[in-house]
A and B are shown apart, each in its own frame.
Chain A
């Protein structure tokens, strides 16, 4: 039942085109653009010998999760609610948990495809190292997906309509991406801001992914941070979930 629902949602996500463009093509384009700028490809002493591009790949992986969670999930769910799609589903044995879980699975599947593509292209075209701690990397990615999807579902549940859900989602996306270091790498931030960043879901995700890429296990603090966001917003989203 859940598998079918997730598959149906994934099919719709792909057909909708905006989702795949945002979550797959956009980060890939950013990678290719950054990768071709020599400035990003110089090993730097102050980054422990890494290039800026090395730092950007985990940020792009987080970008994939964030864009689905904040730019797709809230609109889709709020739209379903407005159009009576949820009302229709409510008369079936599906239940809210599966409806929400299907969105999470769509996010995970998209992330899997997009992140693997990013890592492969980064490795082959630009010589960026694959994550050295693959287990830690996957764990961080899944926890991040849970946390971000939960926040996206919370936005969908709390917004009175689709337009507000979109606006809130888009705003969150840019704020979160700042804390993830998209505009300025976390490592280059002042110490205080670095701590603030690591307390945000996307900052924690990027830190954990970066650690796993560099070969340290992700720091438990970041994993716990992500898990807390997942639980708090997940519970709130289920509580606040409205069929109509």
Chain B
């Protein structure tokens, strides 16, 4: 099957500022393809070129085999777009907006069905200005889908939504995909990319640094685990660092953090048990897409995104061995290892 979106060697500058240096990727029929990158990486410019809002300086873009600038009329019919800052007139009502936008397309979707699906049915008569942020966002998604598009481009879909609304929106996106709509999703939320995307292009400084599934990206960067615990009695580092599975050990106050590969957990708990040491508050973390992301995009990314607490040690090298440790981060069930934390070895880059 031919690719739905094809971008080859896209380049776009604004004056002396290079927004997109060299970006290429291909989106296949029926997938949810993510564009992930720190703020200022060139995500929005890339997407604006894809939907035909901007003229690329160089490179080639095909959407459904068409040129988004030259075949404007046809592309707009088949491509639904949700923009970061597109708005509606304040006094336009939800139902009116959907009927109006529906009238632009050859085969509009039923506004009633969309309002139901997006939880806007009770808001049909509400003027745009009176909608909450989440409702505006959902209306914006509805407008992107009102033309029964074959492809939907969604830019920063859940920015500004509360966690519940965000989860509802994710369910909705999966639902839309199951109806055969190909989705290009721009995000800087790791969790969103991890949950939704079949494949992700990681963009940094105007270039694609990796394209793969979230799982593969994670594995590519880091196939290990990190185990944290508080020992009931002190012990020498050598007790654990001598184990073949263990690749590193650091201490954060009275917490011990061990990184390793394979069945590290079994190996260290056995040793500790033999030495009558109890591992209290034991927690095992697997690396996440965020670790992969930061490793791929470097330290700048952590500063730029500010997402998920990654900004903490942003200017620190990510190598665990060479840096003094911060005080331990607030322990909690949702804490994820972050390479911005200098105690976490996320430094093995794929290249």
Contact = CB atoms under 8 A, between A and B. Distances in A.
Interface of A: 1, 4-5, 8, 11-12, 15-16, 80, 83-85, 87-88, 90-95, 243
A85 B104 contact: no
Interface in B11-52: 51
Contacts of A11: 96
The prevalent SS among residues of A at the interface is helix
A88 B87 contact: yes
A4 B85 contact: no
The prevalent SS among residues of B at the interface is loop
Contacts of B69: none
Contacts of B79: 91
B141 to A, nearest CB: 13
A206 to B, nearest CB: 33
Contacts of B92: 8, 12
A91 B104 contact: no
B100 A8 contact: yes
Please list the 6 inter-chain residue pairs (A to B) with the smallest Cβ-Cβ separation, ordered nearest first: A88-B86, A91-B81, A4-B103, A93-B76, A84-B87, A15-B91
Given A80-B89, A94-B104, A95-B73, 15 more contacts: A1-B103, A1-B104, A12-B89, A15-B91, A83-B87, A83-B89, A85-B86, A85-B87, A88-B143, A91-B51, A91-B53, A91-B86, A92-B76, A92-B147, A93-B105
Contacts of B96: 8, 11
Contacts of B103: 1, 4-5
Interface in B72-120: 72-73, 76-77, 79, 81, 83, 85-89, 91-92, 96, 99-101, 103-105
A92 B104 contact: yes
Contact of B76 (A16, A87, A91): A91
Contacts of B89: 12, 80, 83, 85
Nearest to A3: B103
A190 B72 CA distance: 54
B102 to A, nearest CB: 9
B100 A87 contact: no
Contacts of B51: 91
B86 A87 contact: yes
A91 B52 CA distance: 8
Nearest to B106: A93
A85 B100 contact: no
A4 B99 contact: yes
B100 A91 contact: no
B139 to A, nearest CB: 11
Contacts of A12: 89, 91-92
A6 to B, nearest CB: 10
8 contacts: A4-B100, A85-B87, A87-B83, A91-B83, A92-B105, A93-B77, A93-B105, A94-B104
Contact of B83 (A5, A84, A94): A84
Nearest to A9: B89
A88 B92 CA distance: 14
A95 B81 CA distance: 15
Contacts of B77: 93
A84 B86 contact: yes
Contacts of A85: 86-89
